Amino acid sequence: MKAAVVDHRGGVPEYRDVDDPNPVEGQALLRVEAVPVENVDRAIVAGTHYTAAPFQAALPAVPCFDGVGRTADGTLVGFGGIEPPHGALAEYVVVPEGHWAPIPDGIEPSTAATLATAITGMSMKTAAGLQPGETVLVQGATGVAGRLAVQIARLLGAGRIVATGRDAAALASLADLGADAVIDTSVSDDDLVRAYRDAAGDGYDVVVDFLWGRPTRMLCEALIPETFAIGKPVRLVQVGEAAGDAFELPARAVRTSGLEIYGAARNLMAGMADAYAQVVEWVRSGELVIDVTTMPLSRIAEAWQRTDLRGSRLVIVPD
Ligand SMILES: NC(=O)c1ccc[n+]([C@@H]2O[C@H](COP(=O)([O-])OP(=O)(O)OC[C@H]3O[C@@H](n4cnc5c(N)ncnc54)[C@H](OP(=O)(O)O)[C@@H]3O)[C@@H](O)[C@H]2O)c1
């Protein structure tokens, strides 16, 4: 079969022949229909992600480890559970029992392949318990996950939505998705702290954070009360690290600011079924729009190196 193979750390996947996979008992052979290429996949290939070691040890290897495929009887399923060197960027994958689930009717394979990213937006409810009327700040709102999170905040009944990004045109487009105010994070530190304070209204209740790094460092600074007052709770959900994987957190940003930090995984398994069903319902009704750009597996080298797909998820499909 054909697959996209990476030969060395940081390499560009090459479309070429590999051995056909042979499922054994307890495994299923799926024909791959759609595979999302996300930042985490690029970081694993680059060797910069904390989960990159097994992939790097298995080189040459096929990247990406989840997607959408068809079983022998034609059922469309979402799959995961595959391990290096056998990634999803291939014509077929062998998936262990229990690592696939049917895709609901009415969802296209390429859209189905992006549902996991949409689910991250649901962390404002599953991890942070968002209530209707609360104020939500989406950090990194011009990206794929962030644009979905802005829409999800609106659909969940947020009272005010503030969205951050670096590109003026992309930020302007967020009003159509439901943002009430936007913040350009590319300004100076002092200006950014002021912008977070000015846009907060009655204060942020929930922050969905795809950035971390400098913008979140400045947000923490902005949350510090300027008097001896005690700040109201701000439930920050850590989801991504597009702006950096670490920053220095001053004690004063925690002591009285109200800042509470949760991982996106908090309550995720307990809330997953409901979150998934809700996202599927919104996608089917057209209330939640997922921007997808598809390219065929044979053009993986070109697709992998694209840098122009801001806000749109690259999904690799069969030729
Ligand atoms: N935990 C999960 O399950 C999960 C799922 C999906 C994504 N994520 C993570 O969430 C993050 C965003 O994912 P995505 O798919 O939305 O990526 P994306 O489409 O590439 O978007 C990245 C976002 O971060 C911004 N950004 C990038 N570098 C920045 C910097 N140095 N300073 C300030 N802003 C910066 C981008 O702004 P511009 O538009 O200006 O470039 C954009 O808003 C990634 O870290 C990803 O790994 C996690």
CB 63 within 8 A of CB 51: no
> In the 8-state DSSP scheme, what is residue 43?
H
Which residues line the pocket of ligand 1, CB cutoff 6 A? 38-40, 117, 120, 140, 142-146, 165-167, 170, 185, 210-211, 215, 239-243, 264, 310
Ligand 1 geometric centre to CA of 27 (Å): 34
pLDDT score of 172 = 96
State how many domains the chain has.
2
133 and 256 share a domain? yes
172 and 67 share a domain? no
Phi, psi of 177 (to 5 degrees): -85, -15
80 and 125 share a domain? no
43 and 97 share a domain? yes
Question: Residue 186 is inside which H or E element, if any?
Answer: none
User: Residue 173: which domain range?
Assistant: 119-268
89 and 139 share a domain? no
* pLDDT in 10s for each residue of the chain, 319 residues: 999 999 999 999 999 999 999 999 999 999 999 999 999 999 999 999 999 999 999 999 999 999 999 999 999 999 999 999 999 999 999 999 889 999 999 999 999 999 999 999 999 999 999 999 999 999 999 999 999 999 999 999 999 999 999 999 999 999 999 999 999 999 999 999 999 999 999 999 999 999 999 999 999 999 999 888 888 999 999 999 999 999 999 999 999 999 999 999 999 999 999 999 999 999 999 999 999 999 999 999 999 999 999 899 999 999 9
CATH number of the CATH domain containing 65: 3.90.180.10
83 and 211 share a domain? no
pLDDT score of 226 = 86
> In the 8-state DSSP scheme, what is residue 6?
B
169 and 217 share a domain? yes
150 and 189 share a domain? yes
Cα angle 23, 27, 28; round to 5: 80
88 and 197 share a domain? no
Specify if 220 maps to a domain: yes
Give dist(CA 280, CA 24) in Å, integer: 33
177 and 87 share a domain? no
Ligand 1 atom showing the smallest separation from residue 264 Cα: 1
Q: Which of 123, 211, 241, 269 to mutate to test the pocket of ligand 1 (most atoms within 8 A of CB)?
A: 211
Q: By three-state DSSP, how is residue 278 classified? A: helix
Give the pTM.
Answer: 0.95
Ligand 1 atom showing the smallest separation from residue 215 Cα: 33
Specify if 278 maps to a domain: no
263 and 295 share a domain? no
Specify if 107 maps to a domain: yes
141 and 248 share a domain? yes
CATH number of the CATH domain containing 138: 3.40.50.720
CB atoms within 10 A of CB 173: 17
Give dist(CA 21, CA 92) in Å, integer: 7
Amino acid letter, 275: A
Specify if 249 maps to a domain: yes
Phi, psi of 143 (to 5 degrees): -85, 180
